[in-house]
Structure 1
Amino acid sequence: MSSFISPRRTVLAVAATAIAATTLAGCSGSSGSTTADGKVEISFLTTNGDDAIATGNALIAAFQKANPDVTVTLNTRPGGTEGDNLVKTQLSTGEMDDVFFYNTGSLFQALNPDQTLANLADESWASEVTDNFKTVVSTDNGTYGAPLGTSMAGGIAYNTKVFADLGLSVPTDWSSLVADAEKIKAAGITPIEQTYGDTWTSQLFLLADFGNVLTQDKNWAEDFTANKAKFAQEPALAGFTHLQEAFDKGLFNADFASATAADGSAALATGKAAMYPMLSSAVLSNITQSNPDAVKDIGFFALPADKAANTTLTVWEPSAVYIPKTTEGAKLEAAKKFVAFVNSPDGCDVQNKNFVAGGPYTISSCSVPADAAPLVAEIQKYVDAGKSAPALEFLSPVKGPNLENIAISVGSGISSAQDGAAAYDEDVKKQAQQLGLAGW
């Protein structure tokens, strides 16, 4: 896997969040109409993974029970680039389903939403979404998407029992994390787990640092997109610097080069490792499968910045449901009802029954179940305190294909932080030029 979007797509496939898919399982296309008995027919397009299909069918069944005058047909599409291209094609040809499930952030912006999507800013649920979510489904002219699924965070998953046994508190700045790690190492426990056997996981030191970058420079993503901000310069250089320092101080597991995400999650669950930079949904999914009794012992905190005041949790916002402008009349009203239902208490119950929450919901009408993993509550505290920010992939379309390999090089002591950051600045150039972005 590669680029800023890869961890998102990778983890959504393994975290049972009804988001990811890889192969074509059906055909889509607008099929809404009014039947002879007065029922309105609409269609809902989702991705073709088993979890996505199960969630889609469950939402439809509950919605139709509450709205017997509407019939909803489920259609599916592939994930990845193939799915992206299909969505763009159907929107441009006027063949999109009446409601469709798709990414937020930069991929949403690539849909030319002001021209292709129905503005949902005046819907009742729109005032209930978080500011961060609204940012990734809106333009200056409107709000176009409603969330489906929970958010997830990038940061440090930690074993709360290990921390308690050693008398450690959650670190809020980088020097405190290093000091804690030295104490953990002295106790014979791996301080920081790394799992380069699954190469995409190497990026978390860098991806999860973006909230800290944005807190220090609110225009950084915009400047990066315009080729005015660089990873080889502060504040973004810090992610590379911290990765190098952790390796240089011997804070990683001995098998970091070959360990997988499943291995790392198991080490964290059993207390062989104390901290693991990871996406919350990925570590939760792996531990739920391999060490379910240990879920209660796993906490989560933001990757610390050099200064505690700048420490900000990086959040991957959920994908969303949208309505194309080609959905009109009675179909439009039915489609809006369906979108609203997704984020109603009944719709949220359906979501909770069909996937494990890896983070908080991004709309106040939905709550994770009472038995949700404790790490979700820790993530929620950052959100409630205004100390969270969207990941870079939601704010910029610029992403290079070789970040994971560059991160492994820095995190293995092969390249310096400065050289790795400069290499990534060069890596993104070709992709930015292919997108035709100004300034490149």
Structure 2
Amino acid sequence: MRKTWFSIMALVLIFSMTLAGCSSRSGENSTNTANNTNQGTTDTATKDDNTDQAKTDSGGEKIRLTVYSTITEPKNQEMMKSISDAFTKENPDITVEFQFPGAEYENILKVKMAANDLPDVFDTHGWAIIRYGKYLADLKDEPWAANQTDTIKPVVTDKAGKVYALVMSEAKDGISYNAGILEKYGIAPPTTFNELMAAAEKIKTESKGEVTPFFLSGIDNGMIGGFLDLYATSQYISPATNDAATLLDGSFDWKKWTALAQKLLDMQKKGLINKDVLTAKYTDMPQRFAQDKVAFVFGAPSFADDVYKVNKDTKIGIMPLTTMVDGDTQTFSGGERYTMGAWKDGKHLEASKKLIAFFAKTENMTTIANATKLPAGLKGVPSEHEFSKFYDQFKDIRVFPYFDRVYLPNGMWDVMCKTGTALIAGDVTPEQFADKMKQEYDRLRNQ
């Protein structure tokens, strides 16, 4: 009896230890899973990762799509999220997680490309074919693809007909101007570079230096690079006789760059650029513009809302880039601004295409156009904002891809921005600038 009692107690003890062991391992697994999930992610991402395994009302697994965008304005980020919320209501089995990395966007995407682990949907920001092409699914069979604008179709469609991305907003960069200042001094929007310089001289002289014709920033030197990029197209690409072929095959005579660099330097020496160009920030410009202290800004009027915060009555106009060569016609530089492309190896490619198609709906494209104040990349999209009339007025103006994206190797943008700033600072001459461009062009092209 005593032996039997000990046998029973031994069995009970073994059974209890077995339960304790199972309970302990179960707890450890839960803790480790939670820790792994939280490492390197935000709370939102963790929440979405958990919902990835959630069940829909119909009992199926929920799909989570990750979307990366270059949009930086908070109000426009919320606008994009509101459209995706509407998509989720129609498609409760799909959740959408937006990421807006800001200045780190390109670096993050380069890392993801190297690992072949891209977001389900991502913004190609001007590099749909050249940089991201091999990672993107073909969207040519999507219902919206046949409705691309004539200016954007060649930018995101290759010779074989592959469509790389939906262009929600089409960039058309020329010159933004203070319409009130031009009216005050009786100046019509210039069409040639010489007319632009004459208008600048008139404004500087008649305002007794109170108005700066052009604003540039050496701190945010993309503004200096932007001037050079825009006018490189006008100087070397858009004229009937141009240097496009030699820039592509590597035989371009970089001594020709000296003339463009000299024009920028002349603008500074003549007092047509803000005197604090080397210390001014881009964020200084909207207030000065609103106070009628700046007449022209190279590029799109993406700063408009910041101007209106200071002076809601400021009148801003946009015009194509002035010609640089006699006999040429005006142009815009641009192509893709905000886009959606689908990662071809994504686990949820059909869901990604479905999301993109939802954003391509006319009502959603209209919302995006009105929010970004840019023309849509699809035909027949109505929009009403203060720049709509200008885009309608200039709808037939030629649009060229950004110069650096087609004709310069990767890495040259930074060279152009920094050396342009050094030129204004007096650290290099126009000739030395041209030599630097050739040296870096050859080096980066052969990497």
* Equivalent-residue separation in structure 2 for 1:425 and 1:217 (angstroms): 24
1:54 aligned partner = 78
Structure 1 counterpart of 2:166, from 146, 150, 168: 146
Instruction: Give the 5 Å matches for 1:176-187.
Output: 176-187=195-206
Residue 174 of structure 2: SS of its match in structure 1? strand
8 A contact 2:179–2:316 mirrored in 1: yes
**Is 1:216–2:233 an aligned residue pair?**
no
2:154 equivalent among 135, 138, 154: 135
Given that 1:191 and 1:275 are in contact with CA atoms closer than 8 Å, whether structure 2 keeps it comes out as: yes
Deviations 1:296-317 (A, max 9, x none): 3444441432336333121252
Q: State the structure with more CA Rg.
A: 2
Cα separation, partners in 2 of 1:263 and 1:334, compared to 1, 3 Å: closer
Partner of 1:425, secondary structure, is helix
Q: 1:83: which partner in 2?
A: 108
Query: How far did 1:38 drift?
Result: 5.6
Distance in 2 between residues matched to 1:59 and 1:230, nearest whole Å: 49
Give the corresponding residue for 1:259: 280
In the alignment, structure 2 segments of 5+ residues that lack a partner are 1-39
Percent of aligned positions that are identical = 19
1:201 matched residue in structure 2: 223
Equivalences for 1:266-415 in 2 at 5 Å?
A: 266-281=287-302, 283-294=303-314, 296-307=315-326, 309-327=328-346, 331-351=348-368, 355-357=371-373, 359-368=374-383, 370=384, 372-374=385-387, 377-382=389-394, 384-396=395-407, 397-400=409-412, 401-412=414-425, 414-415=427-428
Corresponding letter in the other structure for 2:430 = A
- SS of corresponding position for 2:97: strand
Go from structure 1 to structure 2 and tell me whether the alpha carbon gap of 1:410 and 1:153 turns closer, same or farther (over 3 Å shift): farther
> 1:139 and 1:34 mapped to 2: Cα distance?
40
Relative to structure 1, is the Cα distance of residues 347 and 24 closer, same or farther in structure 2, using a 3 angstrom cutoff?
A: farther
The corresponding residue for 1:10 is: none
Helix, strand or coil at the partner of 1:410: helix
1: CA distance, partners of 2:106 / 2:367 = 28
> For the aligned residues, what is the CA RMSD?
3.5
TM value normalised by structure 1: 0.76
Pick one of 117, 142, 152 that aligns with 2:136: 117
Q: 2:421 is aligned with what amino acid?
A: I
Determine the C-alpha separation between the residues in 2 that align with 1:107 and 1:336: 16
- Which residue is equivalent to 2:249? 226
Give deviations 1:12-46, integer Å, cap 9, x for gaps: xxxxxxxxxxx9754899x6999654687351322
How many residues end up aligned between the 2 structures?
392
Question: For residues 52 and 166 of structure 1, what CA distance do their matches in structure 2 show?
Answer: 35
Q: Answer whether contact 2:258 2:433 (CA < 8 A) is retained.
A: no
What runs of 5+ residues in structure 1 fail to find an aligned partner? 1-22
Amino acid corresponding to residue 193 of structure 1 in structure 2: F
Code of the residue aligned with 1:46 in structure 2: it is Y
Deviation sequence 1:80-129 (CA, Å, 0-9, x none): 34322243146x3xx545x411224446433342xx43211122211222
The change in CA–CA distance for 1:89 and 1:417 in structure 2 (over 3 A counts) is closer
Normalised to the residue count of structure 2, the TM-score between the two structures is: 0.75
